Amino acid sequence: MAGLHSEAEASLRVLVQESPFDVGTEMACLLAGSIHIGGLGSFLGVVRGGNGLVALSLEHYPGMSEQMLTKLASEAIRRFALCGCTIIHRFGRLLVGEPVVLVLAAAPHRADALDATRFLIDRLKTGAPFWKSEEFSDGRCRWIESRVEDEEAAAGW
């Protein structure tokens, strides 16, 4: 079914923002785009607590981050039979439990929606210019290093 929807037909929404987003609104917006949607896959990344972590600070490269996420969304639409997809990535200081990133992929069939969701989040981890710094309750701050498993997951597609 790959190639069912051309890039021109499929909807594509990419946002890089400091402010929160509303998952329900984003899903409704994507679903309103096509009556051919049978499944909507999603991944929401949140700031995971533990080990005294207080917050994450996300830095990004304005202009390049939007451009890389848009390229990634276009590639998902080329590779999977999607009706549309949405990527929203936040930056700035985010507390434990706060949403960081949202990926949505809508398709006629669930396999495409779920494959595309996973493709998008796997590639996004190492393929878009965002950097995370951890802030702990004792005041320490530490840049997160890239993980070999993330590089491998991205390369696996």
Partner 1 sequence: MSGTVTVLYFAALRERVGRSREVVSLDGVMTVGAMLMSRRDNDAVLDAVFSGPGTVRVAVNKILADFEAPLHDGDEVAFFPPMTGG
Question: Using CB under 8 A as the criterion, which residues of the chain lie in contact with partner 1 when the complex forms?
Answer: 45, 58-61, 63-65, 67, 89, 100-101, 110, 121, 124-133, 143-146, 150-151
Q: How far is CA 105 from the centre of its chain?
A: 10
From residue 100 to residue 129, the character string flagging contacts with its own copies as x (rule: CB under 8 A) and all else as - is --------x-xx-xx--xx--x--------
Residue 3 or 63 having the CB closest to partner 1? 63
- Which listed option, partner 1, its own copies, none, makes contact with residue 118 (CB within 5 to 8 Å by class)? its own copies
At 81, list the tokens.
């039979």
DSSP state for residue 146 in the 8-state scheme: P
- Which listed option, partner 1, its own copies, none, makes contact with residue 11 (CB within 5 to 8 Å by class)? none
Q: Which of 8, 19, 62, 97 binds its own copies (CB under 8 A)?
A: 97
Q: Minimum CB separation from its own copies for residue 85, in Å?
A: 14
- Footprint of its own copies on residues 17-56 (CB under 8 A)? 22-25, 27, 31, 35-50
Cα 40 to Cα 84: distance, rounded to the nearest angstrom: 9
Cα 106 to Cα 34: distance, rounded to the nearest angstrom: 9
**b/e per residue 46-70 (b: at least 16 CB within 10 A):** ebeeeeebbbbebebeeeebbebbe
